[in-house]
Structure 1
Amino acid sequence: MSESPERLLIIDDDEMFCHVMERAMSRRGYEVLVAHDAEESLAKARQAPPALATLDLKLEHDSGLKLLPELLEVAPACRVVVLTGYSSIATAVEAIKLGAVNYLCKPADADEILAAFDKQGGDPDAELADNPPSINRVTWEHIQKVLQEHDGNISATARALGMHRRTLQRKLQKRPVRR
Structure 2
Amino acid sequence: MDERPNGDAADDAPMNLLIVDDDRPFQQRLARAMEKRGFQTETADGVREALDKVRIQPPDYAVVDMRLGDGSGLDVVEAIRGSRPDARIVILTGYGNIATAVTAVKLGAIDYLAKPADADDILAALTRTGEEKAAPPENPMSADRVRWEHIQRVYELCDRNVSETARRLNMHRRTLQRILAKRAPR
The alignment's TM-score, normalised by the length of structure 1, stands at 0.72
Structure 2 counterpart SS, 1:55: strand
Alignment partners' CA distance in 2, 1:157 and 1:97: 28
Mark the CA change 1:49 to 1:124 in structure 2 (over 3 Å): closer, same or farther: closer
Structure 2 counterpart SS, 1:32: strand
Q: Residue 49 in 1 paired to residue 58 in 2?
A: yes
Q: Which residue of 2 aligns with 1:6?
A: 15
Structure 1 gap segments, 5+ residues each: 148-152
Q: Residue 74 in 1 paired to residue 74 in 2?
A: no
Mark the CA change 1:159 to 1:65 in structure 2 (over 3 Å): closer, same or farther: farther
Q: Which residue of 2 aligns with 1:32?
A: 41
The aligned runs of 1:92-171 (5 Å cut-off) are: 92-121=101-130, 127=136, 133-138=142-147, 140-141=149-150, 154=158, 159-162=167-170
Conserved 8 A contact 1:90-1:141 = no
Alignment partners' CA distance in 1, 2:141 and 2:43: 39
Identity within the alignment, % = 39
The alignment's TM-score, normalised by the length of structure 2, stands at 0.70
Query: 1:28: Cα distance to partner?
Result: 1.7
Q: How many residues align?
A: 164
- Give the residue type in structure 1 aligned to 2:88: R
Query: 1:49: Cα distance to partner?
Result: 1.3
CA offset digits 1:106-130 (Å, max 9, x no partner): 111211101001223476795599x
- Give the residue type in structure 2 aligned to 1:78: A
Alignment partners' CA distance in 1, 2:43 and 2:123: 16
Structure 2 gap segments, 5+ residues each: 1-10
Quick check: 119-128 or 24-33, which moved more? 119-128
Alignment partners' CA distance in 1, 2:15 and 2:132: 26
